[in-house]
Amino acid sequence: MNWGLVFRAALAVVLLAFLVSPDSFAPLLQPLVKYGAPPIYHQGNLLEITLNHLWITFAATLAATIFAVGLAILVTRPFGAEFLPLSRSIANVGQTIPPVAVLALAIPLLGFGTEPILVALFLYGLLPIFENALAGLANVPRDVEEAARGMGLTPWQRLVQIELPLALPVMLTGIRIAAVISLSTATIGSTVAAKTLGEVIIAGLTTNNTAFVLQGGLIVGACAVLINDGLLALERVLAQRTGRAQRA
């Protein structure tokens, strides 16, 4: 029996049950509160907050993926190789500027809400996606490329039919890392009025309610584990397929 799969399935079921009916878990969290404070966060619907948190993560990761993969494709073409140092500098911006600083800079331009945290997460996700896309595209076997040229495929056909499929498992590693980082970092979006699980954690910190802090943190942690493991499983499937393709 695959106990890892059983654990992930059980975690998904418990997470869904908590989000749909959080009051059912109140007795478990009651010992963590004092002076009659509520053990379950009711200032907003936990399911809606979680879905919005996931949407913000998905939107930022998708935007970072499109930009970073496009940049990696550009610098791995002969006409774009000279832009590699500049592209690396652009991808490094998100890692050198803290997300909190990005939020502070974005608020005067975008105002409070979802937009500032989307910008911060987009920048933060560029580096792992770009570097993995670059590694995947740069390490396509030469004999495969020569065979594609011998078949008369155009550069665009080689990119779409050969290079991207072979590089996809490595690219997905960067996307997975960026998604998990963004999922955790998105909690700070609540400091600029974005609707994320950070509001549950902040509410717990400001009212000294450990139950709020725990449930907000556990929801983020459970989502991170499930997303990481799901993408990791997809990576393995794609790696096996591309491995067979290269051997063939």
pLDDT digits (tens, 9 = 90+) for 70-118: 999 999 888 878 888 888 888 888 778 788 888 888 888 888 889 999 9
Q: Which of 52-61, 144-153, 173-182 has the lowest mean pLDDT?
A: 144-153
> Which of 160-169, 216-225, 238-247 shows the highest mean pLDDT?
216-225
Q: Does the structure show a pLDDT above 70 at 1? A: no
pLDDT recorded at residue 246: 54
Instruction: Decide which of 190 and 246 is more confident.
Output: 190
Q: Is the pTM of this model over 0.85?
A: yes
Rounded CA gap, 186 and 66, in Å? 19
Q: How confident is the model at residue 243 (pLDDT cuts 50, 70, 90)?
A: low
**Segments making up each domain of the chain, as ranges:** 46-247
Half-sphere exposure of 35 toward its Cβ, with a 13 Å CA cutoff? 4
Q: What is the pLDDT of residue 248?
A: 45
The one-letter amino acid at 45: N
List C-alpha distances in Å: 77 to 91, 110, 159, 217: 18, 35, 10, 43
Residue 68: its pLDDT value, please? 94
239 vs 119, higher pLDDT: 119
Cα–Cα distances in Å, from 65 out to 59, 154, 244? 10, 25, 26
Please identify, in words, the CATH class of the domain defined by 46-247. Answer: mainly alpha
- Average pLDDT over every residue of 185-208: 92
